[in-house]
């Protein structure tokens, strides 16, 4: 797994379930839609931006990552300003070993 944010967030899925478009979401959080689209498709972002998105969608930040059909584990690590996401204990352990 690439340790940068290179995963698909559930933002589109959550927007669809709430009946709003990503354009509406982008406007609500004060972001241009192309910037939001890059985040949705795995572009780099910040914890603060993810929290703004979660707040606007009225979900927890963890719900932006965890597919509703699987995964009992999700972890985010902010290491020196780089946000990393892990969906398994083994992936997290492997990453932590690289820090030692």
Extract long-range pairs of 94-97: CB within 8 Å, 24+ residues apart: 95/3
What sign results for the dihedral spanned by CA atoms 8, 11, 25, 19? positive
Residue 5 has pLDDT above 70, yes or no: no
Q: What CATH number does the domain located at 11-99 have?
A: 1.10.260.40
The mean predicted confidence, pLDDT, of the chain is 81
Determine which helix (DSSP H) or strand (DSSP E) holds 17, and give its type and residue range: helix 11-18
Residue 52 has pLDDT above 90, yes or no: yes
Give the residue extent of every domain in the chain. Answer: 11-99
Residue 61, pLDDT score: 83
pLDDT tens per residue, range 69-96: 555 777 778 888 777 777 778 888 888 8
């Amino acid at each position: 797994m690439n340790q940068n944010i290179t995963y698909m967030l559930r933002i589109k899925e959550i927007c669809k379930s709430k009946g709003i478009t990503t354009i509406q979401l982008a406007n609500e959080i004060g972001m241009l839609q192309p910037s939001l689209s890059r985040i949705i498709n795995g572009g780099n972002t910040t914890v603060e931006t993810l929290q703004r998105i979660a707040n606007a969608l009225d979900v927890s930040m963890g719900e932006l990552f965890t597919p509703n059909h699987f995964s009992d584990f999700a972890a985010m690590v902010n290491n020196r300003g780089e946000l990393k996401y892990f969906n398994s204990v083994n992936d997290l352990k492997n990453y932590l070993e690289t820090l030692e």
